[in-house]
Structures are given as structure tokens and as C-alpha cells.
Amino acid sequence: MSTQAWFDAKQRVKQAIDIVDLVQSYLPLRREGRGFKALCPWHDDSRPSLQVNSDRQSFKCWVCDIGGDIFSFVMKMEGVEFPEALKMLADRANITLEPAAGGGPRGAADDKRVLYQAMAWADAEYHRCLQESPEAETARSYLASRHITPEMVRRFQLGFAPLRWDWIVERASGANFSTAVLERIGLVTRRKQGPGFYDRFRGRVLFPIFDSQGRAVGTGGRVLPGGDADAAKYVNSPETPLFSKSNLLYGLDLARDAIRKTGAALVMEGYTDCIIAHQFGFHNAVAVLGTALGASHVQLLRRYAERVRVVLVLDGDEAGRKRAKEVLELFVAANVDLRVLTLPGQMDPADYLLTHGAARFTELMQSAPDALAHAFGVTTAGIDLRADVQGASTALKEIISTVGRAPRPGQSDDLLRDSVIIRRIARDFDVPEIQARKMMSELRRPDGQRKGPQAAPASVRQPIDALERELLELLSQFPELIEQVALSVQPAQFVSDAARGVFAACVDLWGAGIVPDFERLLLENDDPVVKNLLVELDERGREKSGAETSTRLRDVLSGFERRQQEQHLRGRTAALKQRNLREEDALAVLVELERHERARQAEIEQRAREGISDPTDG
């Protein structure tokens, strides 16, 4: 794609997509004044700190120091580089980009857009197979035996992989997807002996896994009853560029609106449990993907409700009861209203709903204890807290140790929450609060050893000194001033690489007869660090827009001139110290230094009398 075509494509895509609509497809937004806010997905945000400016078509989180435009947002959310972000956004806007030369199979295995397309295609093939193929009769019978209705089969797009080694590979060749792409998304595996690939999920009922945007990203497969006795009962997709089980929840694409509406999420531990819950009207149900519920899952749920209540539904077997410790650690670490529903009679959620119905399940859910009460009940089961001193002491130490050693979010309300938890523990065990607090202090790890959720690292860039920042903020609001500025300031005078790049772009655009305004500069730059800087300059610049422009410009140009003089004098001084000058030249340098210092002091005194701050003060 030519340079002009590349720019034209960016411009068309940006004009077609509104940043508010884009961000809202990932995160729930709420209006605040003229803009919008959301919980930032890149740090443990307890109050909305991601700002979306619909007028400027930009976003910014000042906590993370992450900002930019629609391209930056997709790059950060999807973990892709600019070309892939452009293609993904072009697809979203139904804009056809100039095709690359060459034919052959669609795309490359490192093109995330192609991987999404391949995953969606494969899920459709598996779903069609389940619905129509004679080979899938046993799979259809199995789903019917689990009381999963045809409507749920369609809603969750369940599928079937025939018991053939190369079924998906053969069909992919007809769809022009390479085996390298299928391997990249985890659908096929290389043969251990000999060349070629085989279908990872052959002979299994498939539960497609979608991200919160409704895009197919992975698959879970269950072997059919009577199948290979040596095969694992469940197999999930491996970690791929699309699939990360610790950052995904099964059914979230279908549950997110209900979670937003109810402020609560039901978290199951099995695909079938989640499907049956939806079938019984619990549309806020999701499921973990073969892993324990973690802080990243909670943060994902918080995108849809700031103070979400999470009800973790555990099977009523011994394994479910033994989860008390890790659940309590999550309760402390994620600072979330976490309830634990342990089902009676060693039943799983699907069996309980099918046996007892939605009303009984709702009653259990409403009476579910929080994680601390649940841990207390499990830890003290069978212990007479009044008569068994040793047993009670051991249980107390176990709970306090779990709470004390759990990572904490590091938020301002930690101390208050700690006090409430300690008070509850002391009350439950009938011990003095001061004793419980002392035990907590002794057992708690030093701060340096705790690994709580951390804010996302700030964009990597050199600090920008106050003078360079002041000039760029001024130009962000009054881009026409570049004509005057470029006569006396050169890009080489900038210390910061990012700031130098922004200023150089301003000069180049002006030289081409184009006004270097905020929108144009965002389009010119593909680097997310530079885009972030541009948004920051624009936001800060607008805060100063009431100041006298001519005075600010005069001062900043004087600052650059003075800095150039000082750099020149530093070079002369270095030569003087190294005795590289003749006697008369050395004397001239001393006179020049004295004259400069007197002028500098006179300027400082004059500014002080006029009450004007120095633009180089940072």
C-alpha cells in the first residue's frame, strides 16, 4: 500500500468510526459533563478514570498514562500493532483496504484479524456439523440427555468435531485457510510421528468460547460417553494470540447486558452449568475455563458493573468445599463483594436446577454467605469453638493467615476494610479484637513481598521538560503559530524524542501547506506513545487556553533562545576549563559569561515585578 493510500485509509476509517461507539463496545460508558467515563481496563480501577472525549475523538487514563485515538485503543485492547488495528477497524466500518500483492491462503498466522476470521469460520463449520451431519447423531443425543434445548444449542453455537483426523484441515483448504493459521488458533496439532496435522477436538462436542465482543477466540471440547477411555474428559484451546483462559469467561458475551442491569454475576465452573443457568432464566451466568476464579476475571466483570456482586457457585462435593482458602484470598485481593454458593447433596448447578428449579436456586443464591463467612464455616466445621481450644486456635490462625497473606489492591480504603474484616474474625471466634489484630500484624508479609494487582505501566517515553511542553501545548491549541515558531526553533533543539517528533511533524506539515492541528497530527503518527502525548498536550493545552497567547509565545521563544545561548556558553566554558583557548579568547569567554549572567538576573527580576512565571519552571 502506497504512503498516500495508507494515509487515505486511516482517514476514511477514522471518519467512519466514532470513538464513543468503539469504546462502548468494549466497556460500559457513562456520560459525565461533555464527555464519557469508564472503569479503566488497564489497572485495578475502583472509580471510573478512563475519559473519552467525543469532541476530540480521543481517550485518556491519567492513572495509567495511556491515551490516544481509535487506533491506539484497539492496539492496546487487542494487543496488536498499528497495521492490524487499522485492518480490524476497517472491517468494523465495512471499508475495503487496498489489497496486498500476491495470492494463496488468506493472510498470515501472525495476522490477528485473519485468526479471528479463521476461528469464526471453524466454529460455524463445527456448529453446522452438529446440526446437520449424520456423524453428529451421538452428539445430539448426548446434549438432549443433558436437557440442553435446541434454542440453547443455537444461542451458544455448540458444535461437533467428527471422529476423523483431518476433517477441519480438509475443509480449511476449501476455505483458503492455511494449516499454519489453524495451528496458530489451536484447532490442529502437528503429528508426533510423520508430517501433517490432526484435529485437536476430533470426536468431541464443542463449546465455542467468545470474548466479550462476541468474537470466537477458542473452543472447549467434551469427549462423548463411550468414546476414547484414555482421552481427557475436557480439552480447551491452548494459549493462543486470541485465547487466554485467565482473561476470559465462558458466556460473557451473552451475559454482559444482564450483569450490567442486575449488578451481579453468577460464576459457574462448567460450560453445561452455565448453559442450563441461562436456560432457566439466569442470563447473568458465566463460567471459568478450567481454572479458578481470579482477580483478572473480577476485573473483567467490573467493566459491566462498578460494584459488581459475584456469586461463585461451587459443586457440593468435597473439592468445592476445599476451595475456601483460595476464594477467601480472592475476596481480600480483589476487594469485591464475593458470595459463595455451595450446593447441597454433592450436586452441580445443572443437576440442581433441573431437579429443583429456578425458584429454589434463587433462594439459595440470595442466602449465599460472603467469602469470609464461607471460609469460617468450612474451617470450623466439626470444631466446638468453646470446648476445643486447640482446634479453635488452629482455625483462627488459618483464617487470619489467609487474610493476612493475601495480596491487597493498595487502595485508599484498605485500612477500613482490614478493620472490618478483623472485627468480624474476632467476633466469630469470640476473641479480643486486639488479639486478632496482633496475629494479623505478625502473619502479614512485608509490603515489599506482597504482589497485589498493579496499575498498568505508563507509556514508555522520556520526560518532557517544561519549555518543550509549553511550546507544544501552545501549538496544540493554535497550530497556525508554527509559521512564526519555525523561524526560530528547530527540531534538533528538543531533548525528548517524542516531543521532537511531534514538532518535526508540525514543521513538515506547515512546509507542505497543511495546518498541523490535533486531528491531523493524530493521523500522521502511528506510534501509540506519540498519540498518547498528543492527547495529553491537547488536554493540558485547553486548560491554559484562557492565558494571553502572545505573552506565552514570546516567553517560550525567549526560553528556547536562552537555552541555545546557555548550550553555546557551556561549550565555551568546557573549552576554557580544558585550556584549549588562547588568552584573548579565554578573556572574551569570561566577559561573555558575566554579561549573560547579568542579563539573566535582570530578566528574573523584571518577571518577578510583573508577576510572570518562567515557562522553563516545571
Q: Which residue has the cell 528547530?
A: 490
Quick one: pLDDT at residue 403? 84
Decide: helix, strand or coil at residue 162.
coil
Interacting residues of 142 by C-beta distance below 8 A, sequence separation 6+ = 205, 224, 225
Question: Which secondary-structure segment (H or E) carries 271?
Answer: helix 271-279
The number of beta carbons lying within 10 Å of the beta carbon of residue 153 is 18
Q: How far apart are CA 187 and CA 248, in angstroms?
A: 18
CATH number for 112-243 (one of 3.90.980.10, 1.10.10.10, 3.90.1300.10, 3.40.50.2300): it is 3.90.980.10
Q: How far apart are CA 8 and CA 95, in angstroms?
A: 12
Q: Is the pTM of this model over 0.95?
A: no
Mean pLDDT per 10-residue section of the chain, whose length is 618 residues: 79 93 88 89 84 93 93 90 90 79 54 90 96 95 96 97 91 88 93 82 96 92 81 90 92 93 93 97 95 87 84 76 78 84 88 96 93 88 86 88 69 68 90 87 56 43 81 92 91 88 91 91 90 92 78 89 73 57 63 65 64 55
Q: What are the tens digits of pLDDT across the range 363-375?
A: 999 999 998 998 8
Quick one: pLDDT at residue 267? 96
CA 478 vs CA 467, 504, 517: distances in Å: 16, 16, 8
**What is the CATH architecture assignment of 252-379?**
3-Layer(aba) Sandwich (3.40)
Quick one: pLDDT at residue 586? 62
Q: Could you tell me the three cell numbers for 85?
A: 488495528
Q: How far apart are CA 489 and CA 437, in angstroms?
A: 62
Q: Which residue has the cell 491554559?
A: 544
Quick one: pLDDT at residue 98? 74
Q: Where are the domains of the chain?
A: 3-92, 112-243, 252-379, 400-451, 466-610
Quick one: pLDDT at residue 150? 96
Q: Which residue has the cell 476464579?
A: 293
Interacting residues of 295 by C-beta distance below 8 A, sequence separation 6+ = 44, 330, 333, 334, 453
Quick one: pLDDT at residue 449? 44
**3-92, CATH topology level:** DNA Primase; Chain A (3.90.580)
Q: Which of 474, 44, 513, 538 lies closest to 302, judged by CA?
A: 44
CATH number assigned to the domain covering 466-610? 1.10.860.10
Q: How far apart are CA 328 and CA 402, in angstroms?
A: 7
Quick one: pLDDT at residue 364? 94
Q: How far apart are CA 523 and CA 515, in angstroms?
A: 13
Quick one: pLDDT at residue 472? 93
Quick one: pLDDT at residue 455? 41
The sheet with strand 159-161 has its strands ordered as 159-161, 204-210, 216-223, 234-236
Quick one: pLDDT at residue 61? 94
